[in-house]
Amino acid sequence: MNAQHKLAYQAIETLSVDYHGVQAFLLRELGLSRQAFHQWRHHQVTDWEQQEEQLKAKITWYFDQHRQRIGAGKMTIYLNHDVEIDFEVPFKRVKRLMSALHFKCQSRVKKRRRTKQAEQELRDNLLNQQFDQVTEPNQVWLADSTEVRYGVKGEYKLRFSGVLDLHGRYLLAYNLSPTETSEAIIQTFEQAFQSAGNVHPMVHTDRGAAFTSK
């Protein structure tokens, strides 16, 4: 019996309680046999069907607990370690049930692989950790960005980008953005130049994607 027939039988049984003669009419209109309907009504739930219902309930619970970020692989591990489940649960069965429940792992999209930029976008490490060789302001600027998490459980995040004058070790400019982008880095440098004026510092970064982007 497929899921559509089961839902149809359930609807017919519910409606036939309040409306006389609706059972025969609906069976005829839906093209379902009366014999199959009565077999469904007197059907005894099998052990397999009990397992299916138990697994669906467990899968729904684990899926919600992990904020919809769990796939069939990890779900199988959790189910096989659940003390309330006394039978082995294969991966294919979990995958089938998750598909039936329309559960799809809402995992983060994998970051695209950082491809090496053109050589003109990369420069030699001129500073080479010689931080004590800076003798005047605006001679060397350091720039970087980092992820900052906030919220009760750290569920929110943003990107902090900053430009630091190495001479005084003070922050010239900073910017907050949802993600690391070259636009956010450019805005941070624009603020730094507005603050420092007409200067020509050497800029030292980790040469990440946002800094080497064309």
Q: What proportion of the chain, given as a percentage, has pLDDT over 70? A: 90
* pLDDT of res. 118: 47
List, for residues 11-53, the tens digit of each pLDDT value.
777 777 777 777 787 777 777 777 877 776 777 778 888 999 9
| Residue 71 reports pLDDT greater than 70 | yes
Higher pLDDT: 160 or 107? It is 160
Nearest by Cα to 148 from 127, 179, 194: 179
List, for residues 76-107, the tens digit of each pLDDT value.
999 999 999 999 999 999 999 999 899 988 76
* pLDDT of res. 126: 75
Superfamily of domain 129-212: Ribonuclease H-like superfamily/Ribonuclease H (3.30.420.10)
3-state secondary structure string across 88-116: CCCHHHHHHHHHHCCCCCCCCCCCCCCCC
Predicted structure pTM score: 0.42
* 8-state DSSP, 173: E
Average of pLDDT values for 146-157?
85
How far from 198 is each of 42, 170, 189, 190, 193, CA to CA, in Å? Answer: 88, 18, 13, 12, 7
Could you tell me the end-to-end alpha-carbon distance of the chain, in angstroms, rounded to an integer?
Answer: 59
| Residue 115 reports pLDDT greater than 70 | no
What's the mean pLDDT when you consider all of the chain?
82
* pLDDT of res. 120: 47
